[in-house]
Amino acid sequence: MAKIAIIAGDGIGIDVTAEARKVLQEINRLESLQIELVDFDFGADYFLKTGIALPEGQIEIFRNEFDAILLGALGDPRIPDMAHGRGILLAMRFELDLFVNLRPVKLLHEKLCPLKNKTIRDVDFVVFRENTEGEYVGAGGFLKKNTADEIAVQEAVHTRKGVERIIRAAFEYAVEHKRPKVTMSDKSNVLRYGHDLWQRVFYAVGEEYPKIEKEHFYVDAMLMEMIRRPEHFQVIVTENMLGDIVTDVGAMLQGGLGMAASGNIHPGQTSLFEPVHGSAPAMAGKNIANPIAAILTAAMMLQHLNFASAAQRIENTVEAAILNHQVTQELGGSLGTREVGDYISSRL
């Protein structure tokens, strides 16, 4: 049994979430999971109509009454500063303390990889992106705003507790999934305070895991290596903003943003699942967006809710869809968003 909140959000979030929802309903029926799906219309329209991103107390309701939240995408040209996005997505990450942003980079078929001669064995790692600190805390300010002498300060916050728990989560994952190496990435050659803390905590926590190899790359070098030899990586852990960048590059290795799933997780608590891609307003409502990232994200959510066989069944069916060319144009197929969802839900 599980109660799931669905926020389709904006743009193609609406298109792809409808398909993820379809797949969830079908797997619910097939496996008698007894999951209940409840839709919420938060997003740009709601924000423009009401002036608020989320109603007072909404996050408490999610925390107390729901097991997970499935989010489509946020972003709308009418709200250029993404105020509603911060008020929904970042607010949930912070207030639900979803400190693990888990983003698997897994190539499902070699034809989807933009790199030459790479197979599904070569692109198979996970990124643990810290999700509650760094530049994303929004600390800073302006001095002399809108003058020639303007000063803007944007601070990054790194706490020992925050760094420790994400690094430990990465090592625990490596142990549990029999991955022999954890790679930590930062920019500690330049950021001598915050990222120095990351260095020290990584090796200190690492001592608790003597059987796991510890490796470090500066982030610029690591992004290069991810392209040159993605097979080198198994588990990557990094801070919030670097993780944002690293996981977009990772998404390309697995066939583009339309393939990349993610979970914003606090182990044991209400967590939030969203595809890595944005709302792509130009593609919205045209039945052309690839729903696979959203469907794989729903599978990740089921995995988190301990419906492991249901999750596996969805992943296997997505692989079959790719193998059988039952995909959108961007992946070389000829189906629309809805038809991909229909195919996957009918083949579960």
Chosen from ligand IPM, Mn ion, none, partner binding at 107 (C-beta under 5 to 8 Å by type): none
Instruction: Select from 13, 43, 72, 85 the one that contacts ligand IPM (CB under 6 A).
Output: 85
Interface with ligand IPM includes 134 (CB under 6 A)?
no
- The reply on whether position 239 binds Mn ion by CB under 5 A is no
- What are the structure tokens assigned to 34, written together? 């007894």
- Strand, helix or coil for residue 104: strand
Spatial separation of the C-alpha atoms in residues 216 and 318, rounded to whole Å: 34
If one asks whether residue 124 binds Mn ion (CB under 5 A), the answer comes out as no
Of the candidate residues 67, 122, 239, 244, the single one contacting Mn ion (CB under 5 A): 244
Only one of the segments 118-126, 139-147, 176-184, 239-247 lies at the binding site for Mn ion (rule: CB under 5 A); that segment is 239-247
Binder among 67, 124, 186, 244 for ligand IPM (CB under 6 A): 244
Q: Does 122 bind ligand IPM (CB under 6 A)?
A: no
- The minimum distance between CB 319 and ligand IPM, in angstroms, equals 24
Q: Tell me: does residue 186 bind ligand IPM (CB under 6 A).
A: no
Partner in contact with 194, chosen from Mn ion, ligand IPM, none, beta carbon below 5 to 8 Å by kind: none
What type of residue sits at position 80? P
DSSP state of 144: S
- Least separation in angstroms between residue 255's CB and ligand IPM is 17
What does DSSP assign to residue 89?
A: I
φ/ψ (deg, to 5) at 299: -65, -40
Residue 185 burial (CB count, 10 A): 28
* 124 lies in the binding site for ligand IPM (CB under 6 A): no
Alpha carbon 192 to chain centroid, angstroms:
28
Maximum distance among all Cα pairs of the chain, rounded to whole angstroms: 64
Using the rule CB under 6 A, is 43 a contact of ligand IPM? Answer: no
What phi and psi, each to the nearest 5 degrees, are found at residue 152? -120, 130
Residue 260 CB, nearest distance to ligand IPM (Å)? 9
Angle between the 337-346 and 292-304 helix axes, to the nearest 10 degrees?
40
Strands (DSSP E) along the chain, which ranges?
Answer: 2-9, 35-40, 68-73, 100-106, 124-130, 134-143, 151-157, 181-186, 213-218, 235-238, 263-265, 271-273
Q: Segment near Mn ion (CB under 5 A), from 129-137, 153-161, 237-245, 249-257?
A: 237-245
* Binding residues vs Mn ion (CB under 5 A): 244
